Structure 1
Amino acid sequence: MDLAALRVRATTTFRTRRDQAKALVDRIPILGRLVNEFIRIEFIDRCMLIAAQGLLALIPMLVVLSAFLPHITGDAVRSFSDAAGVGHDGTQLIEGQVSADEVRTQTGLLGLVITIFSATSFARAIQRMYERIWEQPHVGGMSGARRCLLWLLGWMMTLQIAGALRRAFDGIGGLVGDGLALALQGLALSLIWWATSWVLLFGRVPWRSLAIGALLTGYLGVLYNRGSSLVMPPYVQANADQFGTLGVILAVSTWLIGFAAVMVGAALVGRIVSEDPTVTRLATSVWEATRRRQRSEVTTPAE
Structure 2
Amino acid sequence: MDVGSRRHRLVAAVRARSDQAKDLVERIPILGRLLTEFVRIEFIDRCMLIAAQGLLALIPTFVVLVAFFPGLVHDGIGQFSDATGLGSTGDGTIAGEVTVDQVRAQTGVIGIVITLFSATSFARAIQRMYERIWEEPHIGGVSGTRRCFFWLMGWLVSIQTVSGVLHLLDGPDGLLPVMARFGLQVVLVAATWLVTSWVLLFGRVAWQRLLLGAVLTGVVQVLYTRSSGFVMEPYVRQNAEQFGTLGVILAISTWMIGFGAILVGCALVGRVVSEDPTVLHIVRSSEAAARSSWQRLRPGDGTTAPPPGAPPRRPRGE
Same fold (TM over 0.5): yes
Which range moved further: 91-100 or 1-10? 91-100
Alignment of 1:24 with 2:24, yes or no, is yes
Deviates more, 1:101-110 or 1:88-97: 88-97
Deviation at 1:34, TM superposition (A): 0.3
**Are 2:89 and 2:240, in contact at CA under 8 Å, matched by a contact in 1?**
no
Residue by residue over 1:156-178, the C-alpha shift from the partner in whole angstroms, topping out at 9 and shown as x without a partner, is 0011013213322431489x822
Q: Does 1:158 align with 2:158?
A: yes
Change (3 A) 1:253 1:20: same
Structure 1 Cα separation of the partners of residues 266 and 301 of structure 2: 44
> What residue identity is the alignment partner of 1:285?
S
How far did 1:32 drift?
A: 0.2
Instruction: Give the alignment of 1:59-138 within 5 angstroms.
Output: 59-71=59-71, 75-138=75-138
Partner of 2:188: 188
In 2, Cα distance between the equivalents of 1:112 and 1:59?
A: 13
Deviation at 1:111, TM superposition (A): 1.1
**Contact 2:77/2:91 (8 A) holds in 1:** no
Name the larger-Rg structure.
Answer: 2
Report which of the two has the higher share of helix.
Answer: 1
CA deviation digits over 1:136-170, x for unaligned, max 9?
A: 00000010001000100000001101321332243
Aligned-partner Cα distance in 1 for 2:165–2:110? 33
The count of residues paired between Structure 1 and Structure 2 equals: 302
Give 1:77 shift.
4.2
Deviations 1:155-204, CA, capped at 9 Å, x for gaps: 00011013213322431489x82211211101110000000000000000
Instruction: State how far apart, in whole Å, the 1-side matches of 2:173 and 2:284 are.
Output: 39
For residues 74 and 210 of structure 2, the distance between their equivalents in structure 1, rounded to whole angstroms, comes to 31
1:215-255 Cα deviation digits (max 9, x unpaired):
00001000000110211111111111110110110000000
1: distance between equivalents of 2:284 and 2:152?
35
Pairing 1:143–2:143 present: yes
Partner of 1:251: 251
- Whether the 8 Å CA contact 1:75–1:159 is kept in 2: the answer is no
Amino acid at match of 1:19: D
- The residue that corresponds to 2:231 in the other structure is 231
Deviation for aligned residue 1:268: 0.2
Q: Confirm or deny: 8 A CA contact 1:30 1:272 kept in the other structure.
A: yes
Question: Which whole-Å CA distance do the structure 2 matches of 1:177 and 1:136 have between them?
Answer: 42
The letter for the 1-side match of 2:84 is: A
Q: Name the aligned partner's letter for residue 201 of structure 2.
A: L
Alignment of 1:280-295 (within 5 A): 280-295=280-295
Moved more, 23-32 or 292-301: 292-301
TM-superposition CA deviations, 1:13-70 (whole Å, max 9, x none): 0000000000000000000000000000000000000000001001111111111123
* Structure 2, unaligned runs of 5 or more: 304-318
Taking the aligned partners of 2:71 and 2:96, their CA distance within structure 1 comes to: 20
Q: Secondary structure at the match of 2:71?
A: helix
Would the alpha carbon gap of residues 69 and 12 (structure 1) be closer, same or farther in structure 2, given more than 3 Å must change?
Answer: same
User: Offset of 1:212 from its aligned partner?
Assistant: 0.4
Q: Which runs of 5+ in 1 are unaligned?
A: none
Q: Aligned partners of 2:71 and 2:81: how far apart in 1?
A: 16
Residue 180 of structure 1 aligns with an amino acid whose one-letter code is A
**Any idea what SS the aligned residue of 1:138 has?**
coil
Distance 1:65 1:97 in 2: 14
2:49: which partner in 1? 49
Secondary structure, aligned partner of 2:177? helix
Instruction: Mark the CA change 1:263 to 1:173 in structure 2 (over 3 Å): closer, same or farther.
Output: farther
Letter paired with 1:238? Q
- The whole-number CA distance in structure 1 between the counterparts of 2:210 and 2:57 is 27
Structure 1 runs (4+) deviating above 6 angstroms are none
SS at match of 2:136: coil
Question: What is the CA-CA distance between 1:109 and the residue it aligns to?
Answer: 2.2
What amino acid maps onto 2:106 in structure 1? Q
Write the letter of the residue equivalent to 1:44: I
